[in-house]
């Protein structure tokens, strides 16, 4: 499968943002920690969610999909604590089942994570956290095995800010004996969302959203109903789509506070950005200005928005500098952009981008999830026809990406073979 598109149309209209994938993955893991039913709403209908739900079914979790965006989870029938199949190895967030199962059953075996190849993403901070809570942790035959006769609260200082480690330690700690403190904790909105979900189940977590999280262990968790926050990365992608196509887009179902780093850069580049209660309007301009950006943990500029930012800078006047401080392998898409006429030089973790007047269509390959979405934005802004292959990456994290873009006037289609691609070319001229 591939996306094929003809660029040049300004995107105009309204788009509704789905639930946050990165929050949903942690929240689904949390849902199995009680034997009572848990109802989750605003679930994004993306591949990573389906993979995690399938893995949960395999260990005995009862999963009832009410519709594409809601699910009822019942973890009372879990019959094994080993999670390992070919699919779970392809996503990163399978490791949240480690914290959830360790907390509930004092033992867990979960396959080492996969996900996008954007650089080294070790899970040493996760394991350090579990060990600080009295667990013995080993890595054997591609699986992490964690065991604790008595899981006890501990004081954990994360050597680096890690969303995954913060959530995983939090999951285990809510059912541990005594108090746990996580210092240098991640502050991302999805960390706060998972903490809020756990608290609604009877956990005692304070400080989520700050760099010190304090957790008092409880004996048991109970059922709940919970609605997932909107996806800040999907929202940011559509905000940049408006900028790069010189469009006018109302991005709905967002929390504007979560988008401040993106909004401020778009304003700096000359776009109009207007915030409402749960909506942000972005109006692109014929001539954008370059700027410099450095990726940082929240509330800084998100690494998951870096490729979309670079695409926008390729069409801005002047020279922009993008410094990637989170992942060392996140500029793999730059070679694809140069096929379209972009002028970008990368040295180590810095990209220097000289703006050009136009991009031209090309045959592109998505190297990872966010870069794949950014290449689609590039194609929508370019002259002529662009194709993007390897879109399995994009489908992992964006729900109905092509349909939402079509709703804004984009000439884009998801095609499965060359015959369908040829039809598209004939139709658009």
**Catalytic sites, residue numbers:** 116
Taking each continuous run of H as one helix and of E as one strand, the counts in the chain are 14, 26
Write out the two tokens for 209.
Answer: 């959203």
Sign of CA dihedral 114, 118, 120, 121: negative
The DSSP 8-state label assigned to residue 400 in this structure reads T
Residue-wise burial string across 42-60, b where 16 or more C-beta atoms lie within 10 A, e elsewhere: bbbebbbbebbbebbebbe
Assess contact for 303 and 188: CB atoms under 8 A.
Answer: no
Residue recorded with tokens 């489908």: 395
3-state SS track over 275-310: ECCCEEEEECCCCEECCEEEECCCCCECHHHHHHHH
Residue 256, Cβ density class (10 Å: 0-12 exposed, 13-18 middle, ≥19 buried): middle
Cα dist from 131 to 98, 156, 185, whole Å: 13, 10, 17
- List of residues 6+ apart from 427 with CB closer than 8 A: none
Q: What CA–CA distance (Å, rounded) separates 12 from 360?
A: 21
Q: Are 190 and 166 in contact (CB under 8 A)?
A: no
Q: Which residues contact 10 (CB under 8 A, 6 or more apart)?
A: 245, 246, 247, 248, 284, 409
Q: For residue 93, what are the CA distances in angstroms to 87, 175, 237, 305, 321?
A: 12, 20, 21, 19, 31
Indicate the DSSP class of residue 385.
E
Residue 40: its H or E element: strand 38-41
Residue with token string 């942690």: 26
As given in the structure block, the two tokens for residue 369 are 């999830």
> Which residue is listed with tokens 């048991």?
220
């Amino acid at each position: 499968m591939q996306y094929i598109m003809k660029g040049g149309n300004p995107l105009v209209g309204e788009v509704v943002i789905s639930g946050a994938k990165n929050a949903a993955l942690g929240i689904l893991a949390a849902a199995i920690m009680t034997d009572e039913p848990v109802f989750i709403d605003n679930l994004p209908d993306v591949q990573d969610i389906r993979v995690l739900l399938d893995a949960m079914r395999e260990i005995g979790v009862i999963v009832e999909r009410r519709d594409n965006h809601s699910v009822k989870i019942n973890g009372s029938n879990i019959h094994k604590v080993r999670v390992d199949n070919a699919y779970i190895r392809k996503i990163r967030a399978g490791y949240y089942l480690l914290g959830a199962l360790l907390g509930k059953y004092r033992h867990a075996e979960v396959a080492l994570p996969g996900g996008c190849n954007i650089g080294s993403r070790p899970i040493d901070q996760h394991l350090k956290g579990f060990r600080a809570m009295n667990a013995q942790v080993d890595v054997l035959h591609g699986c992490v095995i964690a065991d604790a006769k008595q899981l006890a609260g501990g004081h954990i200082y994360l050597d680096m800010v890690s969303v995954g480690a913060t959530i995983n330690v939090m999951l285990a700690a809510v059912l541990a004996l005594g108090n746990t403190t996580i210092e240098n904790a991640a502050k991302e909105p999805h960390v706060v969302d998972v903490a809020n979900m756990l608290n609604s189940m009877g956990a005692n977590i304070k400080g989520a959203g700050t760099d010190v999280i304090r957790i008092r262990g409880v004996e048991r968790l109970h059922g709940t109903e919970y609605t997932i926050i909107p996806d800040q990365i999907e929202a940011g992608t559509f905000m940049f789509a408006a900028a790069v196509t010189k469009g006018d887009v109302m991005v709905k179902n967002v929390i504007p506070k979560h988008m401040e780093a993106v909004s401020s850069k778009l304003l700096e580049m000359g776009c109009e950005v207007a915030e409402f209660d749960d909506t942000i309007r972005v109006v692109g301009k014929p001539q954008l200005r370059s700027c410099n950006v450095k990726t940082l943990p929240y509330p800084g500029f998100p690494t998951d928005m870096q490729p979309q930012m670079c695409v926008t800078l390729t069409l801005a006047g002047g020279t922009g500098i993008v410094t990637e401080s989170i992942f060392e392998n996140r500029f793999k898409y730059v070679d694809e952009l140069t096929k379209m006429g972009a002028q970008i030089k990368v040295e180590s973790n810095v990209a220097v981008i000289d703006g050009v007047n136009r991009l031209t269509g090309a045959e592109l390959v998505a190297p990872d999830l966010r870069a794949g979405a950014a290449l689609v934005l590039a194609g929508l802004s370019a002259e002529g026809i662009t194709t993007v292959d390897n879109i399995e990456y994009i489908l992992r994290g964006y729900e109905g990406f092509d349909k939402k873009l079509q709703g804004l006037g984009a000439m884009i289609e998801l095609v499965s073979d060359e015959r369908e691609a040829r039809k598209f070319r004939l139709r658009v001229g």
